[in-house]
Structure 1
């Protein structure tokens, strides 16, 4: 296991759920992240799906004590460079390209690349990747599909993301090849819009307490 893999696992194993956030207003990023950290979810993925994403990552990295902020929806080496420059401590991609792999190899920041088929997992294993994002989890076959991969692809660990909620998180977390899950339910848009940070802390605490 490489040092970067160990660094990634240290982040992911610290909590059962990694919040996956779409931040529309960078001003909400710091109180949102503080609410999640207060609830026990210190590793936070801010997706690069909005113009506010980089400013949000930069603010959380600089201002939120205890947070491990990562960048999600990385689609290119250019995205990688911008996210790392903003302060991301880990990188998440829905799939992978040669450009992203090259950027990952040249960086000290660990990557959690997406994979949904045995061939994709095998190709990433050949590149030295041992921990992957299973995406989109529910749509790609769910916990039963991922369980079926555990024996032929032994030694690979996953963070399933996509369609996961409080109701089905345990189905994934009980699997031997799952290290954590990613989910957006801990930060609903309506609570963020209302500035209900206490409500988000309650949801984070509930997620942090999930046992496999």
Structure 2
């Protein structure tokens, strides 16, 4: 089983993707990988999300994960579709145990000290900080990370191209989640690749 840290350090930004048409899956994944972003989070917010994961998993160099995973059934379906890591908006023992059973890396969402402590109790040290901006932004994550020196984070939610570097400057941050890379609608492959290159050039 891969380590979640290895996935979080593939690039400074993990694209957070809401794809409504499976036909867009491969062009989007190919554009992001060409731009230097290999870890791709496909959110389970559309009816075709599992098909999108399956298509993106065929792209050479892509490490495709499932996001918005809420329970063990979602997790297993995602792994069966080809997901190689799991991202959840919160942290529950059920999802953590399901990830262990499927031998898949988990990046659970946390927003406060209790969430992080619960994760540590479950043997986890790497977390999504979500929703990053709404939960207090950089000052909140600085304060939260101080008592938990072993914890590392991927802030997600409200982060934009022009603020990502500020988050990446925090010692506890390995990467950020970004939805700005692939706007809704028919994908503009050249524009996606260009945005991916800019994101890949950020320093974690």
Contact 1:80 1:91 survives alignment (8 Å): yes
Taking the TM superposition and a 5 Å limit, the aligned residue runs for 1:51-200 are: 51-61=47-57, 63-189=58-184, 193-200=185-192
What are the Cα deviations for residues 143-179 of structure 1, in whole angstroms up to 9, with x where unaligned?
1111112221111000000000111111110111101
Gaps in structure 1 of 5+ consecutive residues: none
What are the Cα deviations for residues 102-126 of structure 1, in whole angstroms up to 9, with x where unaligned?
2022121100000000011001101
TM-score, with normalisation over the residues of structure 2? 0.97
| Aligned-pair CA distance for 1:97 | 2.1
Contact 1:159 1:178 survives alignment (8 Å): yes
What are the Cα deviations for residues 38-57 of structure 1, in whole angstroms up to 9, with x where unaligned?
00000000000000100000
TM-score, with normalisation over the residues of structure 1? 0.93
Q: Which of 103-112 and 15-24 deviates more?
A: 103-112
SS in 1 for 2:64: strand
- The aligned residue for residue 33 of structure 1 is 29
Q: Distance in 1 between matches of 2:50 and 2:75?
A: 11
| Aligned-pair CA distance for 1:196 | 1.2
- The aligned residue for residue 16 of structure 1 is 12
Q: Distance in 2 between matches of 1:161 and 1:101?
A: 19
SS in 1 for 2:29: helix
Gaps in structure 2 of 5+ consecutive residues: none
Q: May I ask how many residue pairs the two structures share in their alignment?
A: 204
1:207 to 181, 199, 202: 199
CA RMSD of aligned residues (A): 1.1
Q: Distance in 2 between matches of 1:64 and 1:141?
A: 36
Runs of 4+ deviating beyond 2 Å = none
Contact 1:116 1:136 survives alignment (8 Å): yes
